Amino acid sequence: MAKKDRKALVAIVMGSDSDLGLMTETARMLEQLEVPYEMEISSAHRSPERTASYARGAAGRGIKVIIAGAGGAFHLAGVIAAETTLPVIAVPIANSTLGGMDALLSAVQMPGGVPVGVMAVGKAGAVNAAIFSAQIIATFDSSVGRRLARHKKEMAQAVAEKSERLKKEFHL
Ligand code: RP5
């Protein structure tokens, strides 16, 4: 089935087009795991109504997980979580003078009752958000579970290959 014809299960939302470079890492990993996704730019502060209505409509359109990435005073994930019962995963982006601590603390300090799952700051977080979403999707789609298992094997193999290369280089 063509990519555009597959119904998105994961939504990647980012606060600005300046976040796209990092959030592309999330998209790449979802492609690798063959999880259909959609992407949206919407800001908690600059376009609050658009953000709220997008979050309200997501579940009805078949979205199962929302990933939100933003930097600075990162309220996007929390605002989305306030408007939906879907699981929301936050990717704090280090693009301000405070180096991502601002985004991390804004995302992680949610009040009781409105959870947001917070990933690592930066690229590891962007990649892990995709894997974590796929793990949620795998609870009802075993083909995604099989691709996750394959990804784990590939990672282990890559580490072993690096170790072999290092041994050759040092004649060990
Ligand atoms: C956040 O402020 C955005 O998510 C972005 O990370 C940061 C800077 O946005 P721009 O000024 O580059 O649009 O809301």
Going from the Cα of 80 to the center of ligand 1, the distance in angstroms, rounded, reads 16
Q: Is 138 in the pocket of ligand 1 (CB under 6 A)?
A: no
In the reported structure, the alpha carbon of residue 160 is separated from the centroid of ligand 1 by a whole-number distance in angstroms of 39
In the numeric block, the tokens 């939302």 are attached to 13
Closest-CA residue, ligand 1 atom 3, reads: 15
The response to whether residue 68 sits with its C-beta less than 6 Å from ligand 1 reads no
Q: Judge contact between 56 and 11, C-beta under 8 A.
A: no
The list of the chain residues with pLDDT below 70 reads 1-2, 4
Residue nearest to atom 6 of ligand 1 (CA): 71
**71 Cβ closer than 6 Å to some ligand 1 atom:** yes
How many C-beta neighbours within 10 Å does residue 108 have? 14
Cα–Cα distance measured from residue 33 to residue 132, given in angstroms and rounded to the nearest whole number: 11
Query: pLDDT at position 5, please?
Result: 73
Q: Closest Cα partner for 114 from 72, 85, 90?
A: 85
Q: Is the CB of 69 under 6 A from ligand 1?
A: no
CB 88 within 8 A of CB 60: no
Q: How far apart are CA 57 and CA 7, in angstroms?
A: 14
Our answer on whether the CB atom of 106 is closer than 6 Å to any ligand 1 atom is no
Counts for the chain of helices (H) and strands (E), in that order: 6, 5
Regarding pTM above 0.85, the answer is yes
Measure 129 CA to ligand 1 centroid, in angstroms.
Answer: 19
Q: Which residues contact 74 (CB under 8 A, 6 or more apart)?
A: 15, 90, 92, 93, 102, 103, 104, 106, 107
- Phi and psi for 103 in degrees, rounded to 5? -65, -40
pLDDT of residue 2: 65
What is the enclosing helix (H) or strand (E) of 15? none
24 beta partners: none
Cβ 15 under 6 angstroms from ligand 1: yes
